[in-house]
Amino acid sequence: DAGITQSPRHKVTETGTPVTLRCHQTENHRYMYWYRQDPGHGLRLIHYSYGVKDTDKGEVSDGYSVSRSKTEDFLLTLESATSSQTSVYFCAISGPRVSGNTIYFGEGSWLTVV
């Protein structure tokens, strides 16, 4: 196990409400990522972080924001959830150079926006 915990694992929320997903790692890795998985699209990068308070956008960042105030935590926020954000969200961390840029994934958070 790569020491990644996502919470909540399952959530149903209403359109227009804010939602925050949390990713917690115990590996002290510098890089952290949020991906979403949708049928026919594989996994797409939402946001990533390369250190505390250093974040950047991925390819599908609209409607999402992130924060990283501690090395171990990376939060993904949907400010006002929409039905198009119904998806499975995966957090990932990147191992040290010795592991060759290998990325390890959490177990996923299933989000349904109704």
Partner 1 sequence: AQSVTQLDSQVPVFEEAPVELRCNYSSSVSVYLFWYVQYPNQGLQLLLKYLSGSTLVKGINGFEAEFNKSQTSFHLRKPSVHISDTAEYFCAVTSRGSGSRLTFGEGTQLTVNP
Residue 74, interface with partner 1 (CB under 8 A)? no
Among 14, 98, 101, 114, which residue sits at the site for partner 1 (rule: CB under 8 A)?
A: 101
Distances (CA, A) of 100 to 47, 50, 55, 90: 21, 16, 22, 21
Please work out the total of residues on this chain that contact partner 1, with binding judged by CB under 8 A. Answer: 24
Residue 64, interface with partner 1 (CB under 8 A)? no
Q: Which is nearer to partner 1, 50 or 79 (CB)?
A: 50
Beta-bridged to residue 42, according to DSSP, are 38
Among 44, 61, 65, 86, which residue sits at the site for partner 1 (rule: CB under 8 A)?
A: 44
Among 94, 98, 113, 114, which residue sits at the site for partner 1 (rule: CB under 8 A)?
A: 94
Residue 14, interface with partner 1 (CB under 8 A)? no
Asked if 71 and 52 touch (Cβ cutoff 8 Å), the reply is yes
Residue 57, interface with partner 1 (CB under 8 A)? no
- Sheet containing strand 19-25, edge to edge, reads 4-7, 19-25, 73-78, 64-70
Give the chain's count of helices (H) and strands (E).
0, 11
